[in-house]
Amino acid sequence: MKKILMVAALMSAASSVQADDSLELIKMLGSRNSISATFSSQTKNAKGTVVSVQSGSLKLKKPSHFMMHTMEPDETVLYTKGSSVVYYDAFVNQATVFSKKDLYTSPFMLLNSSDKKLWSQYKVQSLGKCYSLTPLKDKTVSKITLCFDNSRINELTLNMADGNTTVYKLTEQNSTPADSDFSYTIPDDAQIDDQRK
């Protein structure tokens, strides 16, 4: 259940009003058409206690390909498939399917977009090598912070409204992902929870 809530937070929607430094950030993100990296993440609760540690791989390719494959401690896969976003949890053998158009303001999927309408849903502030993105109406994510090493994103922090904070560190950013890197075969016996409207 906690994993599904985290997916909902990652894929949460927001809406309207223009941001400050968004054009600068869009330009920086536009300098790369893809990301292929290893990630490690750590989630702390409001008291600063570590409640989750994960690792896996992250791939993005413009305009809309996304794959986040978590291997530790349990295998989960979050990826785009056509006009949908699929979250598969191997431990419970369940796939939840969302509509991409309803979830496109996800912090990760936002990295693929230069759509001003989407970026207007955040107040963006430059903080040196980092950018702070504050959703204007989203009630689950209170702040997103993107930090760069030159033009590469090396850290993404999600501050949740419930007090939890997750920090993703991206390393081994070498190869350009192929289209085949964004496909995943879900077992035939998996339970499917279709949330598309």
CB atoms within 10 A of CB 66: 21
Q: What is the pLDDT of residue 67?
A: 92
The CA distance from 15 to 20, in Å, is 15
Q: What is the pLDDT of residue 162?
A: 92
Strand ordering across the sheet containing 94-99:
122-127, 130-135, 141-149, 152-160, 165-171, 34-44, 50-61, 65-72, 76-81, 84-89, 94-99, 191-194
Q: What is the pLDDT of residue 103?
A: 62
Domain of 174: which CATH number?
Answer: 2.50.20.10
Provide the domain limits for residue 129: 2-194
The CA distance from 57 to 68, in Å, is 6
Q: What is the pLDDT of residue 13?
A: 34
Q: What is the pLDDT of residue 12?
A: 41
The CA distance from 160 to 45, in Å, is 9
**Could you read off the pLDDT of 69-111 as tens digits, one per residue?**
999 999 999 998 888 889 999 999 999 999 877 665 567 767 7
Q: What is the pLDDT of residue 75?
A: 95
Give per-10-residue mean pLDDT for the chain (197 aa).
48 40 82 88 95 94 88 93 91 92 67 77 90 85 91 90 94 84 93 90
The number of domains in the chain is 1
> How crowded is the C-beta side of 174, counted as CA atoms within 13 Å?
2
The C-alpha angle with vertex 129 and arms to 124 and 130, in degrees rounded to 5, equals: 35
pTM of the model: 0.80
